[in-house]
Copies of this chain bind each other. A is one copy, B any other.
Amino acid sequence: MTPSPRGDLFDPACPTRRLLDRIGTKWTSMVVKVLAEADPGEVRFADLQRRMPGVSQKMLSVTLRSLTHDGLVARRVEPTVPPKVHYRLTDLGLSLEVPLAALRNWAEENMAAIDRANAEA
């Protein structure tokens, strides 16, 4: 009784489209990768920013809020002054890392071929 059965890729609520709208956003997949490979599993905001060269505070904040909202990332606040906020992947987020890693592997193995195709054109 899943909301949209297999093969129903093109209905208005298309799950694949909605997922790509999320992970296709510029920093999302980076956050997932960094959190998945983080040693303690939990990473603080500033730490994340350091491990993601080029990300602005705003976009990191927006990305994390979105992922938290989607239940892929969990937020833990230490009520100290100044506050410390830790982020980690939920089980759902960890499960997403699997197909995402497969996609990364494909990219790392085949982007060169795409570059070659572009060069010919």
Inter-chain CA distance A85–B54, complex, in Å, is 42
Q: Is the CB of B106 within 8 A of A95?
A: yes
- Chain B residues contacting A4 (CB-CB under 8 Å) are 108
**Given the interface contacts A24-B24, A33-B9, does A71 sit within 8 Å of B114 by beta carbon?**
yes
Q: Is the CB of B92 within 8 A of A114?
A: yes
Stretch of A14-22, A41-49, A56-64 that contacts chain B:
A14-22
Q: Is the CB of A3 within 8 A of B112?
A: yes
The interface residues of chain A, by DSSP majority, are classed as helix
Q: Is the CB of A26 within 8 A of B17?
A: yes
Chain B residue at minimum C-beta to C-beta distance from A19 = B107
A interface residues, tally (CB under 8 Å): 52
Indicate if A40 sits at the interface (CB-CB under 8 A): no
Chain B residue at minimum C-beta to C-beta distance from A54 = B10
**Nearest Cβ on chain B to A113's Cβ, whole angstroms:** 6
**Nearest Cβ on chain B to A14's Cβ, whole angstroms:** 9
